[in-house]
Every structure is written in structure tokens, then in C-alpha cells.
Amino acid sequence: MVFRGRLQGELAIINMELQSNEDTTMEQRLLLYHAALHHKHKLPVVSVILYPFEANYPVSPYREQSGDNTLLTFNYLVFVLREKDARVYVQKHQVCLYTLLPGMMHATVPLLKQALREMRLHYPNDKRFGDHLVRFQTIMWRSKVMDEPEKREIEEELKVIYNIDQFIDGNPRVEERIEKAGAQRFAEGIAQGRDEGKAEGMQRLMLNMIKDRFPALADQAQPPIEQIQDADALETLFRHLLTATTERDVRQLLQIQENQ
């Protein structure tokens, strides 16, 4: 996410890198992006690493050392969502950051519903609104600052009021990730679940997918998946599981503790 902004009254480029997991090369990559943006725009660059979920994160500055010599010092900012207060951003109507609210402290249902209304007004263009909405939903389901009933209530708002499915189905980024994860099996499973009118079909499909991709979690995944009986909720969970890339992602989605 790259923006034009101001730093002490002067124009600047703000580069915000979304990092969902620990990455030991993050600082070096951020330095590359920083240099490229500075070269392209000829403006100072504010580099930010945004951590929407729990992760070990680095501490600024990054230093390139050769023996006792410091060849380069690179200052950047670290933005950890769970340490931020969602109320502050809504009070200031900083709509460009509303997509991140579900990962912040005090992200209550009324606050998020208000934020969604403001987002809809602020982004009349469906594509831009859809991009923000899909990211909002993804962060919400992986966040640990909201409990399950709260997530279900906001998910209902996303489906009924904002028809989020149309943005998911038409979003090329989401479609590309789903295709890579196995879109054909996903589509067959959705059709099977709806045709049969049973949650068992969706549950079985998800468990088989986890067994194939994350075999170490197969046994642990079964109880939380089988507890969900609502077909729409299972469909939403399946969408997110398909885009999961690590065991940590699956654990967060299913709320499986590391020591189980």
C-alpha cells in the first residue's frame, strides 16, 4: 500500500508493507522498496511494516555492518494492529485505515458497522470499495481481538448489507489465490453442500483439504470444523482456508492452540 502524504508539512511517499508472518528478510526487502520508491518519485519515503496478526517483529533501525563499521542505517516504522485503538481512527474518520480496524483493540460490532457505512460512502467506486472490504473481512477472521459471535454478526452485515460475495467473486487477487489453492475442488464442494443441503459435505471437503495440505493438523482440525453446522459459515471458512499458506494460518483460522 503506497500513498502520497506529508512528513512535517513536506510531500512524502508512505510505503506500508503488510506482513502476516515472521520473515527474517523483511528489513532487507523493505530497504529495497524504499530505495526504488525514492528513485522513482524523487521524494522522501516513510517505510512502514504493518503486522495485522501476532508475530515476532523486528526493531528499527536496520544496520548494515562490516566489522565495527556501520555502512548503512535504515530507519522504518513498525505498526502492530493489536496495539492500536480502533476508536481513535474512527473518531478521526481516517477511512483509508478502516480496512485494518478488525485487528485493533476495541473493535466492537457497533464501531465496525459505523466504519463500514463510512467506507461505503467514501468509496463510491465498487472496485476500490471491494478491495477494502475483502481485506477487512480477511483481517477480521484471522484476528484474535474479536470473539466468534462478534465475527459472525459482522460477517452477516458483510453478506446482507454489502453483498461481499460479489466482490470476492469478482476480485482478481482473490480468484487467483483460490485458483492456485484448488478452485475446482472448492466449486464442487460448494455445489455439493448446497445441493445436498447438508453441512457434512462442506465439513468433509475441508477436512480432506487440510489432510492433503497440512497433514499434521488433520486431527486437531476436525473438532472445530465439525462444531460449525451453518452452511454459509462453513463456506466462508473454506474460502479462508484455501488461501492459507502455512500451518500457523490454519491454526489461527480454527483457533487451534500451538501446544495441542
Each domain of the chain, given as residue ranges in start order, spans: 2-82, 84-169, 182-254
User: CA of 37: how far to CAs of 41, 43, 47, 72, 74, in Å?
Assistant: 6, 8, 10, 18, 14
Quickly count: other Cβ atoms within 10 Å of residue 127's Cβ: 12
Asked if residue 15 lies in contact with residue 28, where contact means CB atoms within 8 angstroms, the answer is: no
Residue recorded with cell 520508491: 37
Per-residue pLDDT of the chain (260 residues; tens, 9 = 90+): 788 988 888 999 999 998 877 788 899 999 999 999 999 999 999 999 998 887 788 899 999 999 999 999 999 999 999 999 999 999 999 998 999 999 999 999 999 999 999 999 998 888 888 888 988 998 898 888 898 899 999 998 898 888 887 776 555 555 555 455 455 555 555 555 444 445 777 787 788 778 877 888 888 888 888 888 887 788 788 878 877 778 888 888 888 866 54
How many whole angstroms separate alpha carbon 242 and alpha carbon 143?
17
Question: What pTM value is reported for the model?
Answer: 0.59
